[in-house]
Structure 1
Amino acid sequence: MSPSLRITFLGTGTSSGVPMIGCHCPVCTSADAKDKRLRSSVLVETPATTFVIDTTPDFREQMLRIGNEKLDAVLFTHPHKDHTAGLDDIRPYNFFQQKAMEVYANAMTINQLKVEFAYVFAEHKYPGIPDINLHEIDLTPFTIADVTITPILVWHHKLPVYGFRIGDFTYITDANRIDDAEKEKIKGSSVLVVNALRREQHISHFTLDEAVALTEELHIPKAYFTHISHQLGTHVAVEEELPAHIRLAYDGLVVEL
């Protein structure tokens, strides 16, 4: 039996965030707090462990905003900067928890982390740098404390990206194609989170219509869309168009399973 899950959306925006620097469109100038979107990430809590999926450039702000004080692990979906840039800010957890951070990523992402954060992995380490235990993962399910996690291969144009199924919860970001065999891993989820960038076609992200179609194809009873750009529209306007079982995620949203 899967443990209970508490999912907190730390950020639901695309790589530039919302509002976007220099933009004066109706979304970027909206007074609605749900139209303020930091870069996409979630915090997952079970009775025994707490971990994040991706450390965005906004990671520090995101964790301060929710008052988080416990973090056991980091999972990475892929090596793009909007999903990795905040890794250095795990240092306070090292200090207060007096232990290394467990970091899980595929080989491609690990290689990029070693480039971006070369000082972390240097032979002669400078005092005070992040303390990290790296775990290379592939598509084989793995376990953190009381939870089993199943990686799901999705495609971000030609880049392989990992989604994750955790019990009845599936999280997918930065995708525009999923092979049939990997869709089988998603079926039966009670909650699906998937990216829905905008209305117009995009080279590497699902559109709003494509995300809705995927949800319906897989017969998902509840879905939340994330990795949203300012081009999609205001939160309130888009939600009016969606079926009742599909909602736009927003920063700070909590979902419990």
Structure 2
Amino acid sequence: MEITFLGTGTSQGVPVIGCTCAVCRSVDYRDKRLRVSVHLQVQGKSIIIDSGPDFRQQALRERVEHLDALVFTHEHKDHTGGLDDIRAYNFRQQQDMPIHAELRVLEQLKREYSYIFAEHKYPGIPQVEIHPILSDTDSFWVQGVEFQPIRALHYKLPVLGFRVGNFTYVTDANHLTPEALERMRGSEVIVLNALRHEKHISHFTLQEAVAILEDLAPNRAYLTHISHQLGRHHEVEAELPPFIRLAYDGLRVKL
């Protein structure tokens, strides 16, 4: 399996429009963060988790020339705002794009992208094939690849993380049940969100994320969904345990 971090930033991205803080003015490419998304190449399949507003730019940058499926963690715009750009894959691959999401998320997509789901479709619009995720405990299959759902809370909103083999990905969360943590345990690589140092209503802080990862003790761990309030990449990473690193846009990890 190869994992590529397409984006590692929070909903505003980094730099933030109009901000002149040290992180937003940084010339370190690792401090330039598009909205959060990850690309999995596994068992010969190309699968992306979340297509945010920067999806087109990310796919071009990483040369994602083929896409077998999209999987959504939840319905917020910074995770779904790029759905329209699957049109290029529809045309190139001459097939509908499978999308996997919970029923609530699919209903939100139908509202926001009503033209995709209209009875009488305009020529050239995205073509999708819907696959509802019906359980937060039972595995589901994406193009023959097993996904185990990991239930988390994003404030009061239920969201999903996913375990694929020995890789676990959880973003936009501030609470994991003991059952969810046990599903993550034993993973070789875990990705977890860490927004900033200060307490936040809907995201783990750096300290909270580190504590969870120290308990789960994967071989490697990466932090994502990072805001400009966390600090400059090289300064924050220098204070982390050796097995925990800050993810950055374009980072590739192999299992």
TM-score, L = length of structure 2: 0.98
Provide the residue aligned with 1:169 in structure 2.
Answer: 167
- Cα separation, 1, equivalents of 2:21 and 2:65: 36
The Cα of 1:184 is off from its aligned counterpart by 1.0
Provide the residue aligned with 2:201 in structure 1.
Answer: 203
Matched, 1:43 2:44: no
Provide the residue aligned with 2:27 in structure 1.
Answer: 31
CA contact (8 A) 1:164 1:171 kept: yes
Q: Which of 103, 107, 128 is the matching residue for 1:107?
A: 103
- Cα separation, 2, equivalents of 1:70 and 1:187: 31
Deviations 1:88-140 (A, max 9, x none): 00000000100000000001100100000000001111000000001000222
CA contact (8 A) 2:31 2:233 kept: yes
Matched, 1:136 2:128: no
Q: Which of 50, 55, 67 is the matching residue for 1:54?
A: 50
Matched, 1:70 2:73: no
Percent identity of equivalent pairs: 58
- Cα separation, 1, equivalents of 2:250 and 2:177: 31
Provide the residue aligned with 2:17 in structure 1.
Answer: 21
The aligned amino acid for 2:248 is: Y
- Cα separation, 2, equivalents of 1:47 and 1:223: 22
- What are the within-5 Å matches in structure 2 for residues 207-246 of structure 1? 207-246=205-244
- Cα separation, 2, equivalents of 1:109 and 1:68: 25
Specify every segment of 5 or more residues in structure 2 that has no aligned partner in the other structure, as ranges: none
The Cα of 1:46 is off from its aligned counterpart by 1.5
- Cα separation, 2, equivalents of 1:135 and 1:127: 23
- Cα separation, 2, equivalents of 1:174 and 1:163: 9
- Cα separation, 2, equivalents of 1:146 and 1:215: 29
Provide the residue aligned with 1:12 in structure 2.
Answer: 8
Deviations 1:26-60 (A, max 9, x none): 00000000000000000000132111000010000
Provide the residue aligned with 1:190 in structure 2.
Answer: 188
Provide the residue aligned with 2:147 in structure 1.
Answer: 149
Specify every segment of 5 or more residues in structure 1 that has no aligned partner in the other structure, as ranges: none
- Cα separation, 2, equivalents of 1:222 and 1:48: 23
The Cα of 1:12 is off from its aligned counterpart by 0.2
The aligned amino acid for 1:230 is: H
The Cα of 1:144 is off from its aligned counterpart by 2.2
Deviations 1:139-193 (A, max 9, x none): 2201223421101100001000000000000000000000111111101001000
What is the DSSP-based 3-state SS (H/G/I as helix, E as strand, rest coil) of the residue aligned with 1:118?
Answer: coil
What RMSD in Å do the two structures reach over aligned CA positions? 0.7
TM-score, L = length of structure 1: 0.97
What is the DSSP-based 3-state SS (H/G/I as helix, E as strand, rest coil) of the residue aligned with 1:119?
Answer: coil
Q: Which of 89, 95, 116 is the matching residue for 2:91?
A: 95
What is the DSSP-based 3-state SS (H/G/I as helix, E as strand, rest coil) of the residue aligned with 2:230?
Answer: coil
Moved over 6 A (4+): none
Mean alpha-carbon deviation: is it higher for 144-153 or for 85-94? Answer: 144-153
The aligned amino acid for 1:21 is: I
The Cα of 1:67 is off from its aligned counterpart by 1.2
The Cα of 1:217 is off from its aligned counterpart by 1.4
